[in-house]
Chains A and B, each alone.
Chain A
């Protein structure tokens, strides 16, 4: 009998990061770009675009999804387009009314606990496969990047507030929350993995014009860097 293969996940923007000669470290089965260049800290302070697709996540939807999650001991946002924080830096996001995205933070374990329980056949619950391209935008010039790419003004959205926005960025449907990372307000983005490379290249291109660029998690999210053990 042969030993079972260890699945290796890959970020939707891995090839773009390989081309930039990023430094990698494993994080829960997916190579995670720890640093992209020696200028990461400076780029992150201006406009940093960081790939965090390696964070574990799961999704479900349906009329019974909220009640089912509560029955599993998961705190659920009260209203449509809201999110709540999970221990370990994760989130539970309510997308519109009856769909949920759960993402573990760097040291979170909730997805690992709940994901195996989500299956077809639960009354009013439909599993949703989440293979998102997940990004972090950091830096003081992020509003300038948003003006060029997005129709929604996030400046009035409080960091770590409950608000979640489903909108489009350079024509790509994205889920956006504003939260505090590393003591600074940052934007978290999720989009379908097929649109990830296009969104990544476009955002990085604009960020470079603004004095920023692609950055690794060491600069953008130190807790995630620490979780890689490097």
Chain B
């Protein structure tokens, strides 16, 4: 059983979570159509360590997870606003 550590609820089976996608910077409101299309439709498939959104379904908790997608290994999880590096944009 794969386990994921929710920052609020603790270690739980990954079946209790939903993947929310890689954290990416949204283009400004006055961006061009190609810029917006790139944001909406294009994803980075490069393996490595990425910061992703994850959601604990039972409690409705959104949080960040740093995951090595090449190994499917969660390195750490934290709540928005609680990272020592500051908010991810």
- Which A positions have Cβ atoms within 8 angstroms of B? 80-81, 95-97, 151-152, 165-168, 173-174
Given contacts A151-B13, A151-B16, contact A167 B58 (CB under 8 A): yes
In the complex, the answer to whether B9 meets A168 with C-beta atoms within 8 Å is no
**B79: min CB distance to chain A, Å:** 9
Cα–Cα, bound, A167→B6 (Å): 11
In the complex, the answer to whether A80 meets B12 with C-beta atoms within 8 Å is no
**A90: min CB distance to chain B, Å:** 22
Cα–Cα, bound, A213→B61 (Å): 34
In the complex, the answer to whether B16 meets A167 with C-beta atoms within 8 Å is yes
Contacts of B16 in A (CB 8 A): 151, 167-168
In the complex, the answer to whether B12 meets A96 with C-beta atoms within 8 Å is no
Instruction: Closest B residue to A176 by CB, please name it.
Output: B58
Given contacts A80-B8, A81-B8, A97-B8, contact A166 B58 (CB under 8 A): yes
In the complex, the answer to whether A173 meets B57 with C-beta atoms within 8 Å is yes
- Within 8 Å by CB of A174, from B8, B12, B58, lies B58
Cα–Cα, bound, A166→B61 (Å): 10
Contacts of A152 in B (CB 8 A): 12
**B43: min CB distance to chain A, Å:** 28
In the complex, the answer to whether B59 meets A166 with C-beta atoms within 8 Å is yes
Cα–Cα, bound, A182→B88 (Å): 50
**A213: min CB distance to chain B, Å:** 26
B11-48, CB < 8 A from A: 12-13, 15-16
